[in-house]
Chains A and B, each alone.
Chain A
Amino acid sequence: MLKPFFSFLRGILGSFKVRSTEYLEFELRELENIFAILLMGSFVGIPSPPTPVVLRVMPYMAREMAVMSRRVEMADDVFGEIAGLLDVG
């Protein structure tokens, strides 16, 4: 009898947790994307740090590169992502 109730509560709490960090996660994704773009910017003509700085950090940038490529895939629907985040529509 109590088991489904606690499971329901856990679900609600989990949902709160996810909702409460949604904005933070969006901000984090953006920062990671900016970090990667700053380092890889020379590909698209953005002023970049001196090459040795980029080369030193590149081997550890797997996640940022992945975030950046996902971000590129979503680039044509930025408003869609923000609308989802703000629960619009």
Chain B
Amino acid sequence: MLDKMANISFFTGKGGTGKTTCGASYAVRLADKGHKVLISSLDPAHNLGDVFQARLSSSPRKIIDNLYAMEVDMEKTIRRYLKDTANGLKSMYRYLTAFNLEGYLDTIRLSPGIEEYATLEAIKDILATRRNYGDIIFDTAPTGLTLKVLALPTISLIWIDRLIELREKILDKRLAIEKIQGEKTFVIGGEKMKLKTRADEDDVLRELVKYRAEIGEVKETLSDDSITSLVIVMNPDELSLCETERAVAVINKLEIPIKMVIINKIIQDEKIDRWKARLALQEKIVTKAKEEFRGKVLREVPMEDIEPRGIETLRDFSRYIF
């Protein structure tokens, strides 16, 4: 059944549930089956390298045959992202000295939410290399941040559509004025420029349409269940179930297909008396999760005696997921 899973997978869930371990073991199994896999950590607090017991960077590194891993450097992504923008701004606004652009960009660098934008940029960059791999696995940050990132394309599209609508109105007015008064120019900082009236010559509209296409493609990829799937990793406790239920509601709204729910770290030792209550609760949660996530693949993964780290251990661990 899981062989048919789409070739882009996001492993998400509450902090500490075992997303990285599950994602990494899933990647190892796929690589063993002959798929060329890239697993990429988007979590600002990476530990994918710790799980593989290898030093990772922001470029893919070969771990075993067919398996490549990387940890996205958010700081670097933000810096690169803002540098490209700053260059564009500087060349256009050299005469607008009233605006302190350096200060503006410094502010953006520190503004709340910039990490989510950078994460989306990183996802876009990695998706652009899709043809080099058979499978791409994203090990994401805990639910809150991941949901914000996944919601970004939808929110951006709403804004872009409104802005395109307003821009077209502006161009309509300009064209109406041009028809009566002839071609108009305006001067900024001593530079004379023609007032753009047509959709195909207006840089702002062109950029908005271009960005809409880029974001639209990301949104389409994320919501195409033949390409993308989301795997939620939870633990058999009440808090984890509550968060997963809320996350599923948001993910459904975003139309991102959820294919599998993994209930990780299930305690199986019934001999320990003081865990009796815990075991009863576990059973309740697992039953509830089975009802709640009916129709999705559900995997029950026991708590391991040792932390699953290193290729061999991950390979062994993957039997619970496949």
List chain A positions with a Cβ less than 8 A from chain B.
17-18, 20-21, 24-25, 27-28, 31-32, 34-35, 38-39, 42, 49-53, 55-66, 69
Contact = CB atoms under 8 A, between A and B. Distances in A.
A70 to B, nearest CB: 11
Contacts, number: 100
A33 to B, nearest CB: 10
B156 A59 contact: no
B43 to A, nearest CB: 21
A62 B93 contact: yes
Closest 5 CB pairs between A and B? A49-B159, A60-B203, A59-B88, A28-B173, A59-B92
A57 B156 contact: no
B165 to A, nearest CB: 11
Contact of A28 (B159, B170, B180): B170
Interface residues of B, number: 43
A64 B138 CA distance: 40
A17 B182 CA distance: 10
Interface string B65-100: 000000000000000001001001101110110110
14 contacts: A18-B181, A25-B177, A34-B166, A35-B166, A42-B111, A49-B159, A49-B160, A50-B159, A57-B207, A58-B89, A59-B91, A60-B207, A62-B95, A63-B193
Interface of B: 82, 85, 88-89, 91-93, 95-96, 98-99, 108, 111, 113-114, 117, 120-121, 152, 155-156, 159-160, 163, 166-167, 169-170, 173-174, 176-177, 180-181, 186, 188, 193, 195, 203-204, 207-208, 211
Given A17-B181, A65-B96, A66-B96, A38 B152 contact: no
Nearest to A59: B88
Given A35-B170, A56-B207, A50 B156 contact: yes
Contacts of A60: 92, 203-204, 207
B85 A58 contact: yes
B313 to A, nearest CB: 40
Given A56-B211, A62-B188, A63-B188, A35 B156 contact: no
Contacts of B180: 17, 20-21
Contacts of B85: 55-56, 58-59
